[in-house]
Amino acid sequence: MSKRIQALLAVLVIATSIAAAQGAKTTIRFFHRWPLEPRKSYFDALVAEFERRNPDIEIEMDSVINDAYKEKIRVLVSSNDIPDVFCSWSDSFAYNLVKSGRIKPLNDLLARDKAFAASFIQSQVKPFTFDGKVYGMPQTIDGKVFAYNKAIFAKAGITKEPKDFDELLATFATLKKKGYPTPIIEGLADPWTISHYLGTMFQRYLSPAVTAKDYNEATGEFTDPGYRVVLERFQKIVDFMGPNATSITHTDARALFAAGKLPVIYIQLAEFGLIRKSNPDIQYGYFNFPAFKDGKGDPGLLTGAPEGFMLSSTSKNPEAAERFFKFIYEKQNAAQFVKAVGAPVAVIGAMTPDNSFPELIGAVELINGVEGSAPWFDNAVNIKIADAFMRGAQAVATKDKTIDQVMAEVQAAAKIVRSEAKK
């Protein structure tokens, strides 16, 4: 054999060995919904650190934003192309994924590793539990509050936070009179912002028996006149949002608030970190959605639900996926998340005065102090109904539809949902 052929063979053997060594790496697919900063950098670093500690595992990370994520994860789950580890909202969004039968129950994992199971605020695990099985673990905890600029309130002579809905409208009217033509902007170009309002207002105004019946896919009719009243009252808030109410996104509205140009915004506690990043000096207070004097629901609840991660039951590498899953929730990683993102987490002891700020600590106290939580509306009801309300209320805001038309569309959607549930 000539030397040249021998050299060629040697190269081939080395190349094959390298390829085999690379092939020996286990690949895990990780999918989340944060392609934007600051979470993007956090997850990039988390994955890099995990790969450094586990050289036998490679993480293939992918991400798309919010609404696109909702659609893409549904497509992936339905097409059996489900990622090994992925993020999910809780309640009905999670339940819809669970119904596919492709989400891994975590009961065995939690039974095997009791310390891991005990590391979470237990109330936040419940929204991921269906029929006695846990399908996801919470990462962030959340709630929706009205945040207000303290300096603007002081300038307008507003000294107390509104205690009921009438006082809330009066506060907006005062701000308008004092030179703030749009006292509140929400960013209704994003339909989900509407669902956050409506969900809270339905919960506050309607009797729990009505929402329990209507939010159930098999029995929901949405014929109670209270829904109409809530839509009317929502329009009263929208009237204060000015002509650009439906053309501004929530991100823009938040930027206006952080810049000190907007007096009030209805915002998630998880967004506090983003406000702080934009403007660390802004002084703001916050309060839960005020009660309706004639409301039948519990005004002490806070709208909001945890978000977390799930595992695929069809994963080819379940052991490696589980290792990464647990790594996400390690206390030091959760603490780093709080520091980098500024959002409250469900891992006990991860939030300290060193890695958070007063508003965030207050937010956690608020979550722990309320009587209970109400789920996000678009997670609490079937998406067809949520969509009819969101699109409908958007059209009412632009004066293209009447509230009666919207309710007719909601009831039509509920009819479809009922028929599907009964099949």
Partner 1 sequence: MRRNNVRAAAEPLLFIMPCILVLGAFVYYPLVQNLAFSFFRFSAFSPEKVFVGFGNYANLFLDKTVGTALRNNARYAVISVLCQVCFGLVLAAILEDRSFRRVGQLFRTTFFLPVVISISVICLLFGFIYRPMDGLLNGFLELVGLGSLARPWLGSSKTAIFATIAVSQWQSTGYVMMLFIVAIQKIPEELYEAAEIDGASKLRRFFVITLPQVREMFFVTSVITVTGSVMVFNEPYILTQGGGPGTSSITIAVHMYQSGFFKDMMGYASTLAVLIFGISAALAVLQLRSFRTGEE
Binding site for partner 1 (CB under 8 A): 67, 70-71, 74-75, 77-79, 96-97, 99-100, 188-191, 243-248, 252, 383-384, 387, 391-392, 394-395, 397-398, 400-401, 416, 420, 423
State in angstroms the smallest separation of the CB of 331 from partner 1.
34
Buried b (16+ CB within 10 A) or exposed e, 24-33: eebebbbbbb
CB 375 within 8 A of CB 305: yes
CB 175 within 8 A of CB 263: yes
The Cα 258–Cα 281 span in angstroms is: 9
Q: Which is nearer to partner 1, 157 or 181 (CB)?
A: 181
The Cα 379–Cα 375 span in angstroms is: 7
- DSSP character at residue 270: G
State in angstroms the smallest separation of the CB of 34 from partner 1.
18
Q: Which is nearer to partner 1, 77 or 147 (CB)?
A: 77
- DSSP character at residue 105: P
Q: Which is nearer to partner 1, 94 or 109 (CB)?
A: 94
CB 157 within 8 A of CB 140: no
Q: Which is nearer to partner 1, 253 or 291 (CB)?
A: 253
Indicate the residue type of 186. E
State in angstroms the smallest separation of the CB of 395 from partner 1.
3
From start to end of 150-247, where are the E strands? none
The Cα 303–Cα 91 span in angstroms is: 13
Q: Which is nearer to partner 1, 343 or 406 (CB)?
A: 406
State in angstroms the smallest separation of the CB of 264 from partner 1.
17
Indicate the residue type of 280. P
State in angstroms the smallest separation of the CB of 413 from partner 1.
8
**Side-chain-side CA neighbours of residue 342 (13 Å):** 16
Count of residues for the chain?
Answer: 423
**What residues are paired with 184 via a beta bridge?**
264
Q: Which is nearer to partner 1, 213 or 384 (CB)?
A: 384
Tell me the three state secondary structure of residue 213.
Answer: helix
The Cα 289–Cα 370 span in angstroms is: 12
For residues 194, 170, 284, 301, the Cα torsion angle rounded to the nearest 10 degrees is -50
251 φ/ψ sector (left φ>0, alpha ψ -120 to 50, else beta) = alpha
Q: Which is nearer to partner 1, 176 or 323 (CB)?
A: 176
Q: Which is nearer to partner 1, 113 or 404 (CB)?
A: 404
State in angstroms the smallest separation of the CB of 408 from partner 1.
10
Q: Which is nearer to partner 1, 68 or 170 (CB)?
A: 68
State in angstroms the smallest separation of the CB of 61 from partner 1.
20
Q: Which is nearer to partner 1, 98 or 311 (CB)?
A: 98
CB 198 within 8 A of CB 389: yes
The Cα 192–Cα 188 span in angstroms is: 8
Q: In whole angstroms, how far apart are CA 297 and each of 219, 235, 290, 294, 301?
A: 20, 20, 12, 9, 9
State in angstroms the smallest separation of the CB of 243 from partner 1.
6
